[in-house]
Amino acid sequence: MVPILLSSYLIAVAFVVADIREGEEPNKISFEENAHSFIPSELKNAVENLDIENSLQEVENIAISAEKSRKEGILPTEYADELHNRMVVILEVITEQLKDKINAYRFLNSKGVDRIITPIIGINHDPLRKQLLILIKTLFNVAPITTNALIPISVVDKLLDIFENDDNLALKAHALDIMYVWLPNNPVIQARVMKLKGLESFYNQISKLDITVIHTLVDLFNKILAEHVRARKTQTQRNKEDYEMMQIYQMIGLIERMSTPQVCNGLLNILEALMSFKNDHIQISPLIFELVKNTKPFCLKMYKGNVKAIDLFEKLYKFVSNWHNRDLMVSIGLNITEVITVIEDFAINLKEHENRDEF
Ligand SMILES: *[C@@H]1O[C@H](CO)[C@@H](O)[C@H](O)[C@H]1NC(C)=O
C-alpha cells in the first residue's frame, strides 16, 4: 500500500509542479492555487479517493450495461437513454468535484481518462456528450499539463468531428473551448488538426456559429498564428527538443498556407461575420483589429481588386477615422494610431488596384 501511495504522491507532486510552472498563462476558468497546503494531505486523505473512485466505477458499470444492451439489441432505446441520463448525473457530480485541484489529480491518477473519457466520448447521446465535454474542459482548466500528458491525441479527432458535423451549437462551442486550451503551444496536436482537417473546416463552420463562438475561434487562430510567426523567426535551437519542435512547426506549414486564396478568403468571410453590419452599425472589437493586423503581411496582396474586401475595409476605415468613435475605440483598449495606420493601408492599397483596372 505504502509504495503505491508514495508513487502516486510523487506523480501528483511532479504534475502539480509542472502545472504551476506553466499554469501561469491565464486560463478561462481561474482557480486558487495553493499546492503547499494540499500536497501533504494527498497522503493523509488517500481514503477520500474513494469518492472519485466510486463515481468512476458507477459510470463504468452503467456504460458496460448500456453497451451490452446496445450490442445485443435486446433492450429498447428508451432504456439506453435512461442509462445514459444516469451517467450524465454522475458526470455532473464528478465535474463539480474536479473543480478542486486535488480531485482533478485523483481523477487523473485513477485513470479517469482511460476509464471514462475515451469510452464515453464515442457514445452518441447529446446530453452525455455535452456533460463529458464540460468535464474535459474542467480538467484542462484545472490541471492543464497533466491532462495534456494523459489525454490521448485521438480525443482531438472526436472534438473536430463534433465541431464540424454536430448540429448542436452548444456541443460545437464546448469542443472548441477545449481546443482553445489544448492547441496553443502544442504543435503536436496542431499538426494532427491540420493533417486531419486543415483550416478550411473551421471557416466552413462560420455561418453556423454564433458570434461568441466565432470570437473564440478567431482568438484561437490569432494565438496560433502568432505562435508560428514567433517559432519560425527563432533561428537558434537550444537543444534537440527545440529542433524537433521547429520541424513540427515547419511541417504544419501554417505560414506557407497563410498566403493561399483559400485561407485569405476564409479569413475575409470571418472578418465579415465578425463585423456583422447591422443598420450601418459596426460591432467593433479588438479581435477584429488583431485579425486584420495578423493577416496583413499575408493577404493584403490577395485582396487587391476583391470587391468584398474593398467594401469591408472602406467601411472599417470610415469607422476608425471618424473622431466620434474615438472614445469607444479607446474604451475597448485599441491603439488608435496603430489601428488607423493598418486599416488605411488596406483601404488605400486595395483601391489603388481597382483604379488601375478601370483606367
Ligand atoms: C501605438 O501604436 C504606435 C504605432 O504602432 C506605436 O508607435 C505606439 O507606441 C503605440 N502606443 C501605445 C500606447 O502602445
> Do 215 and 142 belong together in one domain?
no
> Do 127 and 15 belong together in one domain?
yes
Residue 246 pLDDT grade (very low, low, confident, very high; cuts 50, 70, 90): confident
Evaluate whether residue 267 is within a structural domain.
no
pLDDT of residue 40: 46
pLDDT of residue 95: 95
DSSP string, 306-328: -HHHHHHHHHHHHHHH-GGGHHH
Domain final residue, candidates 87, 117, 152: 152
Domain final residue, candidates 152, 174, 193: 152
> Do 103 and 9 belong together in one domain?
yes
Cα–Cα dist 92/4, whole Å: 29
pLDDT of residue 49: 58
pLDDT of residue 31: 37
Evaluate whether residue 291 is within a structural domain.
yes
From the CB of 338, is ligand 1 less than 6 Å away? yes
Query: Which of 337, 339, 340 is the best mutation target for the ligand 1 pocket, counting ligand atoms within 8 Å of the beta carbon and taking the most?
Result: 337
The string of pLDDT tens digits covering residues 191-219 is 999 887 777 777 778 888 888 898 899 99
The string of pLDDT tens digits covering residues 21-60 is 444 333 333 333 344 444 445 544 554 556 889 999 999 9
Domain final residue, candidates 152, 168, 190: 152
Q: Which range has the worst mean pLDDT, 95-109, 246-260, 281-295?
A: 281-295
> Do 116 and 58 belong together in one domain?
yes
Phi, psi of 125, rounded to the nearest 5 degrees:
-145, 110
> Do 102 and 19 belong together in one domain?
yes
Closest C-alpha residue for ligand 1 atom 12:
335
> Do 4 and 143 belong together in one domain?
yes
Query: Which of 336, 338, 340, 341 is the best mutation target for the ligand 1 pocket, counting ligand atoms within 8 Å of the beta carbon and taking the most?
Result: 338
pLDDT of residue 108: 95
Evaluate whether residue 271 is within a structural domain.
no
Q: Is 305 left (phi over 0), alpha (psi -120 to 50) or beta?
A: left
Q: Is the pLDDT of residue 2 over 60?
A: no
Closest C-alpha residue for ligand 1 atom 6:
338
Give mean pLDDT, residues 170-190: 95
The residue segments making up the domain with residue 224 are: 153-257
Cα–Cα dist 302/297, whole Å: 10
> Do 165 and 294 belong together in one domain?
no
> Do 129 and 69 belong together in one domain?
yes
Q: How many domains does the chain have?
A: 3
> Do 46 and 5 belong together in one domain?
yes
C-alpha cell at 65: 450495461
Residue 282 pLDDT grade (very low, low, confident, very high; cuts 50, 70, 90): low
pLDDT of residue 191: 93
Evaluate whether residue 265 is within a structural domain.
no
Q: Which range has the worst mean pLDDT, 77-91, 243-257, 281-295?
A: 281-295
Q: What percent of the chain has pLDDT over 70?
A: 81
pLDDT of residue 143: 95
pLDDT of residue 34: 40
From the CB of 330, is ligand 1 less than 6 Å away? no
Q: Name beta bridge partners: 281.
A: 278
Closest C-alpha residue for ligand 1 atom 11:
335
C-alpha cell at 165: 458535423
Distance 239 CA to ligand 1 centre (A): 35
> Do 139 and 3 belong together in one domain?
yes
Higher-pLDDT residue of 20 and 196 is 196
Distance 335 CA to ligand 1 centre (A): 6
Evaluate whether residue 108 is within a structural domain.
yes
Q: Is the pLDDT of residue 283 over 70?
A: no
From the CB of 85, is ligand 1 less than 6 Å away? no
Evaluate whether residue 268 is within a structural domain.
no
> Do 77 and 172 belong together in one domain?
no
Higher-pLDDT residue of 345 and 78 is 345
Evaluate whether residue 252 is within a structural domain.
yes
Cα–Cα dist 49/33, whole Å: 20
> Do 4 and 142 belong together in one domain?
yes
Q: Is the pLDDT of residue 11 over 70?
A: no
Evaluate whether residue 272 is within a structural domain.
no
Give mean pLDDT, residues 103-114: 94
pLDDT of residue 26: 38
Ligand 1 atom with the smallest distance to the CA of 335 is 1
Residue 272 pLDDT grade (very low, low, confident, very high; cuts 50, 70, 90): confident
What average pLDDT is seen over the chain? Answer: 82
pLDDT of residue 43: 47
Q: Are 141 and 182 in contact, with CB atoms under 8 Å apart? A: no
Cα–Cα dist 345/343, whole Å: 5
pLDDT of residue 75: 65
pLDDT of residue 126: 93
pLDDT of residue 10: 46
54, 65, 98, 227 alpha-carbon torsion, rounded to 10°? 140
Closest C-alpha residue for ligand 1 atom 5:
338
The string of pLDDT tens digits covering residues 131-175 is 999 999 999 999 999 999 999 999 999 999 999 999 999 999 999
